């Protein structure tokens, strides 16, 4: 996806390819095309690492996603589903 669309070629992270309407991610402002680089200061450089990091948190917990949107660095606070 990165090379096809020339997105974030110099940055590590996971590109958001879909955001479900009314989901916790959507409510936190995460958008298709954002690059998730960290979850609670834990680097995320692959989908497997993303899943591994998420499993460390409990349902209902609020966690901070660090992401890039274009050239902007953003943070999103997401409450994990219960």
37 in Cβ contact with 67 (< 8 Å): yes
Which pLDDT band holds residue 61 (cuts at 50, 70, 90)?
very high
Task: Compute the average pLDDT of residues 34-55.
Answer: 94
At 47 the pLDDT is 92
Q: Look at residue 2 and tell me whether its pLDDT is greater than 60.
A: no
Query: From CA 71, how far away is CA 21, in angstroms rounded?
Result: 25
At 9 the pLDDT is 62
Q: Look at residue 4 and tell me whether its pLDDT is greater than 60.
A: no
């Amino acid at each position: 996806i990165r090379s096809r669309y020339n997105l974030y070629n110099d940055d590590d992270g996971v590109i958001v390819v879909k955001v479900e309407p009314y989901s916790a991610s959507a409510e936190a402002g995460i958008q298709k095309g954002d690059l998730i680089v960290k979850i609670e200061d834990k680097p995320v450089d692959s989908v497997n690492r993303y899943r591994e990091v998420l499993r460390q948190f409990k349902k209902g917990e609020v966690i901070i996603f660090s992401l890039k949107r274009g050239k902007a660095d953003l943070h999103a606070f997401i409450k994990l589903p219960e």
